A and B are shown apart, each in its own frame.
Chain A
């Protein structure tokens, strides 16, 4: 069958084409109108919204860290400042191959495996985009130069300059000033996230911790333009941070140095307080350590060494060390005896070398075999530190009166208000024993409390404060580290001051001062050695505190005991007696003799303060 012939009809075809073309053009116009309408919708009707989104894209508010306030001693000598330090940081988003980069860096400069581990830990914790993660702190000039030369082939590795806390005389001051360290997770929960958004360090101990809010300052911020990678291109606007306030401490670094030297090679603590102001002139706890190591993170070897040392260098003995005060509290007990009229200046006690309670077979021994004689009065008992006299006095006073009077001097509660972590120690009472042990009080325990043993304990800071109040004739001295003229910072920690100690007969002060003076300045005084050749008069009291109990019938033999079990040596005192300016408490662990070991330390402090102190500015400049 032949194929039917189809003929083209040009005119019809043209008409058809024109019609179809018209339809297409209509569609074209409609679609173009749609696109233009879409553009108009985005650009005219939703412009504001998209303009905002565009700004949000590129503008960031970056916090700017405030500079931490400095810490000075009373003469304006720097105890804590901020020094530029260079840190190697890695921005992982900019590194092509992170593992390779770390290997390359390790080839160029020394980076320990430990530092790599810490870096990996930080990396896992940080979720932020383009975060600078520190890899190595405190780069040396040489390392900086090496890194700078190789920078082009190390994308992702950058050097950041930042201010790092520095303690010029850390070994001397770390138990007072403390140190800052990286903010940990527990602290993170407490702090103001906005204020600390760019702060890496926070006060961990000491003044750094206590006055954190004063030292830290206010965070600032800047508006920056960034690209899609988060790189900052320029700063558009800036609110400067407010630097933290500087802090002046009562501490006299020269006196601190003297005290530190006097305790060289010992375990112990010294606290010196200016009686007029209550300012802590010196506060030393030995051994000490270098707080700078903690600022950028101490390596575990050094840390373990510090932690495991039997000498406990990190333990702040001045405020946390709880020691039996021993005989150093005898003047306070005597004062209670006089004021309660239990004894007077002429009351005498026979001392055969021991004391016995009725219906008690136990012997309460005096430190001196054979006793202090047949007629021991209060003054003599203080001068020679007669235990028997004070057994008798304590028994007559009773624990309630002891607790009452010694409480007025601040025993049994923290005395320094501007350091964290001070121990309360124990001023025992019936109530205390009941709640602590659930047992009733025994008379024998009163006797031990009366010579500063048994349950009685105190910190060196408490001893110094109580001695200062004593030297101030009962007018309460409040110990503190902050200088007086910085009252704005002080106000926030003001507490109710202890009431002054008012005696019925103020002459009792003179009697007790005289007795304490004769401890130092009379041939029979226990601290007579330190009175030799002094240009001023010292009032003091020695103490020896037992570390291990001595059983009935045994005698103390220092030679036979382990070094750590020997008696603690103590001394408290103030000078000059006529117008007391400075009070000192010294505790030397296992020093055995208050008179020969502890008292000379106090003498050095008195000399330094009272003799050199006449021209304090000159003396401090000369020595630095």
Chain B
């Protein structure tokens, strides 16, 4: 039956990519690429200061960036239809890997996130799921009439909850949130009826107190600390207090690049990873923060344009989810560093030091570019 209706629509027919004049060299989207390069370049500049001018960290981050751009390039070449076709096997594989992590994963600081398979580099299966979950939900819903029925909604939610649940067990709250968000974006964009949304929202609010009991001790601490950082200024509240001081003391123009005292005198922990926006805010001031925010918004805008102009439901849903999830990164990270949200481990995309999440993000951008360049002739 699936084949029958697939053939009815021109969207899904012959999709031989035409090499366009400019935008589609090697399937890359140069507008998006330009902004990504700009942002990651800016990120390197901030990281240079935040890492105490460490050459080692600069070399490592540059090689991560090179690898991530390579990943992006590869994914940009893959026709999204292959992704749609491979959705279910990918999801099954990913879920199996997550279970494997729980059984035999490795990690540090009480969290078990990594999987070491002989012959492969050590990796985090949860990162893979950041892309697999939206692909799975998008492919599942795209095959069904939209808006989705309750049954399809139920299955979509099931896919999401399985992944989120497994990752939350590691525990990795930041990644769970991001994956949950990416799946929910797909459902929302697919057109869940408002009635269902309202009921879900009310149910979620009602279950908030229950959530409190499910949270781990350190997670509760973080929530309490957010509400009142001064209750433990040298312990749980230290990060939030010091990052607010860093940002606030930056003022309009900042203390100058390499001149931040909060970061360089070690008052600010994790200055080169999750809290890098505080270094930026301290050294480059409000103008620096504003510039970065504008760059993020421009990337979101380009991603949204790609989503809106994509053909095929699967492509639209996937592009929309990737773009919006990217913004969730920014919002959660900046929100936590500036003291609006509890502290969860979410890096500032393209700026924080670290390779794993960078590669996933760039892979997402590769998918976006592929979606854009593989539009049907008609659209182009």
Contacts and interface: CB of A to CB of B under 8 A. Distances in A.
Interface of A: 6-10, 12-14, 16-18, 20-21, 24-25, 28-29, 31-32, 34-36, 38-40, 42-44, 46-47, 49-51, 53-54, 57-58, 225-229, 233
Nearest to B4: A5
B290 A39 contact: yes
Nearest to A29: B297
A42 B244 contact: yes
Interface of B: 5, 9, 11, 144-147, 185, 188-191, 242, 244-252, 261-262, 265-267, 281, 285-286, 289-290, 293, 296-297, 300, 304, 307-308, 313, 316-317, 320, 324, 327, 330-331, 334-335, 338, 340
Contacts of A43: 247-248, 250-252, 281, 285-286, 289
Given A8-B145, A31-B327, A229-B266, 16 more contacts: A7-B5, A8-B5, A8-B313, A17-B190, A21-B308, A32-B330, A36-B293, A38-B340, A42-B244, A47-B250, A47-B251, A47-B252, A49-B248, A54-B249, A57-B267, A227-B265
Contacts of B304: 21, 25
Contact of B320 (A6, A12, A24, A54): A24
A-B pairs with lowest CB-CB distance, top 8: A50-B248, A54-B249, A6-B145, A16-B191, A228-B266, A227-B265, A42-B248, A43-B286
Contact of A50 (B189, B247, B300, B324): B247
Please classify the interface of chain B as helix (H, G, I), strand (E, B), loop, or mixed, using the class held by over half of its residues.
helix
A51 B251 contact: yes
A311 to B, nearest CB: 56
A233 B261 CA distance: 12
A21 to B, nearest CB: 6
A228 B252 CA distance: 25
B245 A36 contact: no
A105 to B, nearest CB: 27
8 contacts: A16-B147, A18-B308, A24-B320, A28-B300, A39-B334, A43-B252, A54-B248, A225-B261
Contact of B261 (A6, A42, A54): A54
A9 B297 CA distance: 32
Contacts of A29: 297
A57 B297 contact: no
A200 B129 CA distance: 63
A9 B147 CA distance: 10
Nearest to B187: A20
B298 to A, nearest CB: 11
Nearest to B147: A16
B295 to A, nearest CB: 11
Given A20-B191, A32-B297, A54-B261, A44 B331 contact: no
B189 A17 contact: yes
Contacts of B296: 32
Contacts of A6: 144-145
A9 B245 contact: no
Contacts of A51: 248-249, 251
A24 B327 CA distance: 11
A39 B252 contact: no
B338 A47 contact: no
Nearest to A49: B248
A39 B289 contact: yes
Contacts of B334: 35, 38-39
A356 B197 CA distance: 125
Contacts of A58: 261, 265, 267
B249 A35 contact: no
Given A28-B300, A226-B265, A8 B146 contact: yes
Nearest to B297: A32
Contacts of B285: 43
Greatest chain A CB density within 10 A among B242, B248, B307, B334 is at: B248
B265 A21 contact: no
Contacts of B146: 8, 12-13, 16
A125 B144 CA distance: 74
A222 to B, nearest CB: 17
B188 A54 contact: no
B262 A54 contact: yes
A42 B338 contact: yes
A13 B144 CA distance: 11
B316 A17 contact: yes
A42 to B, nearest CB: 4
Contacts of A228: 265-267
Nearest to B289: A39
A50 B308 contact: no
A149 B327 CA distance: 55
B266 A227 contact: yes
B145 A57 contact: no
Contacts of A28: 297, 300, 324, 327
A504 to B, nearest CB: 82
Contact of A36 (B267, B290, B316): B290
B191 A39 contact: no
B11 A20 contact: no
Contacts of B330: 32, 35
Most buried by B among A7, A9, A20, A36: A20
A25 to B, nearest CB: 6
Nearest to A25: B304
Nearest to B10: A10
A114 B300 CA distance: 69
A17 B261 contact: no
A323 B299 CA distance: 100
Contacts of A57: 242, 245, 261-262, 265, 267
A26 to B, nearest CB: 11
Nearest to B300: A28
Nearest to A28: B327
Contacts of A46: 248
Contacts of B251: 43-44, 47, 51
Nearest to B313: A13
A10 B248 contact: no
A36 B308 contact: no
A35 B5 contact: no
Given A6-B145, A227-B265, A47 B313 contact: no
A29 B188 CA distance: 18
B317 A17 contact: yes
A42 B250 CA distance: 9
B275 to A, nearest CB: 14
Contacts of A7: 5, 145
A227 B189 CA distance: 49
Nearest to A31: B331
Contacts of A53: 245, 248-249
A389 B43 CA distance: 109
Contacts of A233: 265
A20 B248 contact: no
Contacts of B307: 21
A43 B261 CA distance: 15
Nearest to A51: B249
B249 A50 contact: yes
Nearest to B9: A10
A581 B359 CA distance: 99
A35 B248 contact: no
A106 B341 CA distance: 51
B290 to A, nearest CB: 6
B348 to A, nearest CB: 12
B171 to A, nearest CB: 26
A35 B337 CA distance: 11
Nearest to B191: A16
Nearest to A12: B146
Contacts of B185: 24
Contacts of A44: 251-252, 286
Given A42-B248, A44-B286, A57-B245, A14 B9 contact: no
Contacts of B338: 35, 38-39, 42
Contact of A39 (B245, B247, B261, B331): B247
Contacts of A36: 289-290, 293
Most A-side CB within 10 Å, residue of B147, B261, B265, B307: B265
A24 B331 CA distance: 14
